[in-house]
Structures are given as C-alpha cells and as structure tokens.
Amino acid sequence: MSIQTHSRPSELKITDLRFAIVGHDNWRWPLLRIYTNQGITGLGEVRDGASVRYALMLKSRLLGENPCNVERVFRKIQQFGFHGRQGGGVCGVEMALMDLAGKAYGVPSYMLAGGKYRDRVKVYADTSSEQDPKKMAARMQTRIDKGYQFLKMDVGINLLRGIEGTLIQDPAVAVNPNLMHPFTATQITQKGIEHLTEYARVIREQLGSTIPIAIDHFGHIGLDSCIRLGRALDRFTFAWYEDMLPWQFPKQMKAIKDAVETPVCTGEDIYLRQEFKTLLDEDCVSYVHPDLATSGGILETKRIGDLAQEYGVPMVLHQAGSPIVAMANVHCAAATENFVALEMHSVDLPWWEDLVAFEGKALVEDGHIRVPEAPGLGIELNEEVVQAHLNPPTPELAGFFESTDSWNVLDSHDRLWS
C-alpha cells in the first residue's frame, strides 16, 4: 500500500476536517478525514450511535494545529468529550491524529504508543441472539468454523419476553429505555432463571466446554437478580459477565464480583481513565473493557490498560464500528501488554472489510488481525465501497467528504479557569 509521507512533519498543519457516514439498517459509522497543508490525510471514526456533530464542533479548534502534537491537541479538546457516545468526537479526532502522525514520520501508529508486544491481535466474535438455543449454538458454530477462538452472546431478559411467569416487571417501566437498572424494580423469577440456565446449557453442550464465551446484555435488572442469575450461570465457566449493572455504581459492581465465581467486566461507556481508577481502587472488575471510540482514543486507552496492569487486571476491548476504529484498536492492543481480546461485531456483514485497503488478503484471519507495519493506522479507504454504503441519518448529513466550512469559526471561550 502506497502511503504519502512528507519530510517536514514539524511544519505540518491541519487545514480541514470532513466526514462520510456509512452503515446498514440502524447502524451508522461516521468516518472522519483530517486534511493537512502537505497533502497527508488521517482517518478516524466517531463511535457508532454518536452524532458526527461531536467531531464537527471541534474543527475550529483543530485548524492550524500540528497533528503530530497528538498529546497537546488531545488535551485541548478533551473537555468536549464525556461518557457514553459523547466522547465520540474527541476519540475520532485522536485516531486521525495518530494516523497522520504515523504517516508523517513513516511509522505504524503503535510505534507512537511505545512499540508492540504482539504481531497478531486476538478478536472475539459477538453474535446477535436467537430465541432457540439450538439455532443460537448453530450460529455461533459458524464463527468457530471461520476460525474465531473466542465468542460472545447475550443471555438476558429479552430472551424471556412473552414467556409467562418469568419476569416481575411494571409494563410502563419495561418500555422506558432511560431508567437505570436499580430503579426498574424488575426481577427474574425462578422460572426465568431456569429458562436462561437451560438456554446456556444447550449452547455450552453444543459448542464444548473449553472455548471462551463471554456473556452480555442481561437487561435492566437490579443487583439481587444479577446475583441470582450470575450464580446460576457460574457452572458453565463463561469468560465474563459484561455490564450487569451500570458502571456508575461501584459498590453494587463490587457486590456482584464478590457473589459470583465468573469474571466480571465493564467500561465501554467510560470516558478517560479516572473512572477506571475508581473501579480498580474499589476492586469492582476482573477485566477493564474500554471502547476506544469512547474512552479517549489510542493513547488514553493504552494508559487505561497500563493502569489496570498495576492492579493485576487484564484489558479487553469493546468495538462495534468500521475497520477504521477496529484498526485503531489493533494498534492500541499491540502496544498494551495486558490486552486479551478485541470485539468483532460485523462478522456477518460481507462488505465490512471492503471499506478499506490493507496489507494481506483478509483483515481477520483465524480469529486474529495482523498488526500492520504500514505508516499510521495501516489502512486507506476504498472510496467506491464507502460511497455505495452511505447511510446518513438526515439529508443535512448526507454526502461524501464534502465541505464543512460552516464549522471553521470558533465562537466560544473554552478556558476552564479564570
């Protein structure tokens, strides 16, 4: 792959930021491209489900900056990120800065993060749910047949919908997506526990007892139901229980960790490392599980992994975007010693890998992604494929890397101190 580099990175300046939104159905990935005065461009991505406007509002703060000053620029804009999808703009820009800096100096992005611990990054394949456990096991077996050696599935109250006697729940609460788990008063009955346990048993029996399978999306249930369900599922030695409760309740997270025999993890909605430190100090997690497109980008996510390592805790990475954010994760994973596995969410999407050009025949081979040696993130857009899969949420955000000059002028005072 031919990458344009330049001999004067100290004179590099950001001149533009543009976007194209791709996706399928209700999934959307806002892709970013940052331009410079020397012809080099950098690729980044706003997290799935976040507005590209979170990145566009940063443009006036980026123009004229040298993208090689990744840390300096990140500190300038980090105040405009937050937990959940709201960190997506800052993180997408950071990825593009790391891509640009790597291209400017002719090195892969992992070198800017301190070098690599591994040549291949293990990925774990998520699988959308089937109500029938035998059909679910068959779907997951197709992942194993493709070479994946680590899987994830959902085992939660969505599998109990319509089954009488399995849930105690206020119907009005059931349709409120903004009510946090402890406040729903939703409980799983013993019949519901037995149904989910049997569901898990069938899948474990079909797939065998040794392949790692992580469990996610338990539903908005409270602490006591989480513990009862977790204890019932412990016999199957799953890889971890993910996000049983919101990360904002560390004492309840700690209660789950102490009550079950399966590892627990959280972190995909946490921005920056400070809240991870709180979870680690409180001994709430067996794994930290940041999403690089929320947590702060490549360098901040490596810092999260390094912090967790000091507590003896490994890191797994949440990822549900395009190959751009996937490859940003690969560079972070390569540079972080206590990394275990990276999520892959688009196994069944035939054109997913075609969005980019990269080294090798396939991005994912035998359940791993090879760490690229090309400068920057090691990928470039296949523009025809991107244009074929544009999926903007509104006409205003349609188009393919068109002018964003209306976002060029800074109209606020950003300083946080007097």
Least confident of 51-65, 168-182, 322-336: 168-182
Give the model's confidence band at 26: pLDDT under 50 very low, under 70 low, under 90 confident, else very high.
Answer: confident
pLDDT in tens, 400-409: 999 999 999 9
In sequence order, which ranges of 11-87 are alpha helices (DSSP H)?
53-56, 59-62, 70-77
Q: Is the pLDDT of residue 360 over 90?
A: no
Q: Is the pLDDT of residue 381 over 70?
A: yes
Least confident of 76-90, 160-174, 181-195: 160-174
Q: Is the pLDDT of residue 7 over 80?
A: no
Token pair for residue 238?
A: 């799953």
Side-chain half-sphere exposure of 36, counting CA atoms within 13 A: 26
Q: Is the pLDDT of residue 156 over 90?
A: yes
> What torsion do the CA atoms of 265, 269, 274, 276 make, to the nearest 10 degrees?
0
Q: Give residue 175's pLDDT.
A: 78
The full set of domains in the chain, from first to last, is 9-108+382-407 (3.30.390.10), 112-376 (3.20.20.120)
Residue 256 neighbours by CB under 8 Å, 6+ apart: 223, 226, 227, 230, 241, 244, 245, 264
Percentage of the chain modeled with pLDDT above 70: 98
Q: Give residue 386's pLDDT.
A: 98
> Mean pLDDT, to the nearest integer, of 307-332?
98
Q: Is the pLDDT of residue 191 over 70?
A: yes
Least confident of 61-65, 166-170, 200-204, 226-230: 166-170
Neighbours of 190 (CB within 10 A): 11
Residue 232: name the closest of 278, 205, 196 by CA: 196
How many helices (H) does the chain have, and how many strands (E)?
15, 17
Q: Is the pLDDT of residue 343 over 60?
A: yes
Q: Is the pLDDT of residue 226 over 80?
A: yes
Q: Give residue 177's pLDDT.
A: 84
> Mean pLDDT, to the nearest integer, of 284-313?
98
> pTM value?
0.96
> Mean pLDDT, to the nearest integer, of 183-189?
96
Q: Which residues of 364-395 are buried (b: 16+ CB within 10 A; e: fewer)?
A: beebbbbbbebbbbbbbbbeebbeebbbbeee
Residue 109 neighbours by CB under 8 Å, 6+ apart: 98, 99, 101, 102, 298, 328, 331, 376, 377, 378
- C-alpha span between 222 and 240 (Å, rounded): 18
Q: What angle do CA 122, 369, 347 make, to 5 degrees?
A: 85
Q: Give residue 174's pLDDT.
A: 80
Q: Give residue 25's pLDDT.
A: 86
> Mean pLDDT, to the nearest integer, of 139-156?
97
Q: Give residue 397's pLDDT.
A: 96
On average, the pLDDT of the chain sits at 96
Q: Is the pLDDT of residue 150 over 60?
A: yes
Q: Is the pLDDT of residue 245 over 90?
A: yes
Q: Give residue 169's pLDDT.
A: 92
Give the model's confidence band at 5: pLDDT under 50 very low, under 70 low, under 90 confident, else very high.
Answer: low
Residue 35: name the closest of 65, 75, 7, 10 by CA: 65
Residue 320: name the closest of 55, 77, 143, 127 by CA: 127
Burial class (CB in 10 A: 0-12, 13-18, 19+), 281: exposed
- C-alpha span between 16 and 286 (Å, rounded): 42
Percentage of the chain modeled with pLDDT above 90: 94
Place of tokens 């002028």: 409
Q: Is the pLDDT of residue 3 over 70?
A: no
